[in-house]
Amino acid sequence: MTKRSDGSEQLTVAGHPVYTFVGDKASGQTNGQNLNLNGGLWYAVSPAGTEIEGTSSTSARGGYGY
Q: 3-class DSSP state for residue 51?
A: strand
- The predicted pLDDT at position 41 comes to 85
Rounded to an integer, what distance in angstroms lies between the CA atom of residue 37 and that of residue 60?
Answer: 20
Q: Where are the beta strands (DSSP E) in 1-66?
A: 2-3, 9-10, 12-13, 16-17, 35-37, 40-42
Closest among 13, 59, 61, 53 to 34, alpha carbons compared: 53
At 2-60, the pLDDT tens digits run 999 999 999 998 888 888 888 888 888 888 888 888 888 888 888 888 887 765 544 44
